[in-house]
Amino acid sequence: MAPPAHDRLRRLVLLLVVATAAAALLLAPTTADAALPRVQHTPTKADGSLAILVVGDWGRRGQFNQTLVAQQMGVVGQKLDIDFVISTGDNIYDDGIANTSDPLFKESFSNIYTANSLQKPWYLVLGNHDYTGNALAQLDPAIRKVDSRYTAIAKSFIVNSGQQMIIWNLKVCKHFK
């Protein structure tokens, strides 16, 4: 018997928290950073601060609570005035996309993350489920013609914000009882 929907949603929120912590570790500078491709993201806030949402394991055509999580991401994104979203992989289940015109991309991304606050850049890396399909399709610049928010340029890359992230202010919100 499947756990109640609110338990699944709590697990998804916990996953977002864990992914945020993982992103903090992944964004720490290393000597190998110089070899990685970079994307420039210019902060838009006067004080130069950044607010980021982190998500992973999401591309489910709106099923398995993806739509509910997307709605909550929109609420949190608005409250925090986010600058961008980081995806930690497994962007399209079960096997990625076949090509840049695969309808699964819109069904799992463009048509789901529709809140105004989520109309920001998404910086994505691929997960194991993305690699079981045509991984190059998700890394192809042509995918940005389908949805300009989607930025996945290499297996690993650096988002250069012009600022060092020294302190991560992690807020955990309980939206479900």
* 3-state secondary structure (DSSP) of residue 105: helix
Residue 26: per-residue pLDDT? 58
Query: Is residue 169 a part of any domain in this protein?
Result: no
Provide the β-strand partners of residue 54: 86
Domain that holds residue 111: 39-160
- Of 41-55, 102-116, 131-145, 149-163, least confident by mean pLDDT is 149-163
pLDDT above 60: residue 68: yes
Higher confidence at residue 28 or residue 157?
Answer: 157
d(CA 101, CA 113): 18
Q: What's the distance, CA 115 to chain centroid?
A: 14
Closest-CA residue to 133 (of 105, 93, 172):
93
Encoded tokens for 62: 């709106």
Closest-CA residue to 147 (of 87, 77, 64, 69):
87
Within the chain, what is the greatest distance between any pair of CA atoms? 50
Other Cβ atoms closer than 10 A to 154: 13
Helix (H) or strand (E) holding 138: helix 135-139
Cα R_g (the chain), whole angstroms? 16
Query: Is residue 98 a part of any domain in this protein?
Result: yes
Q: Report the share of the chain in percent with pLDDT over 70.
A: 77
Query: Is residue 138 a part of any domain in this protein?
Result: yes
Q: Which amino acid is located at 52 in the chain? A: I
Q: What are the pLDDT digits (tens) for 114-159?
A: 999 999 999 988 888 888 889 899 989 999 999 999 998 878 777 8
- Of 52-56, 102-106, 169-173, least confident by mean pLDDT is 169-173
Closest-CA residue to 35 (of 163, 156, 121):
156
Query: Is residue 104 a part of any domain in this protein?
Result: yes
Per-position b or e across 50-63, b if 16+ CB within 10 A of its CB: bbbbbbbbbbbbee
Query: Is residue 65 a part of any domain in this protein?
Result: yes
Query: Is residue 24 a part of any domain in this protein?
Result: no
Encoded tokens for 34: 């110089």
The total of structural domains in the chain comes to 1
| Residue tagged 């690699």 (tokens) | 131
Q: What are the pLDDT digits (tens) for 71-93?
A: 999 999 999 999 999 998 888 88
User: Which CATH number do you get for residue 109?
Assistant: 3.60.21.10
Query: Is residue 4 a part of any domain in this protein?
Result: no
Query: Is residue 140 a part of any domain in this protein?
Result: yes
Note if the pTM is more than 0.75.
Answer: no
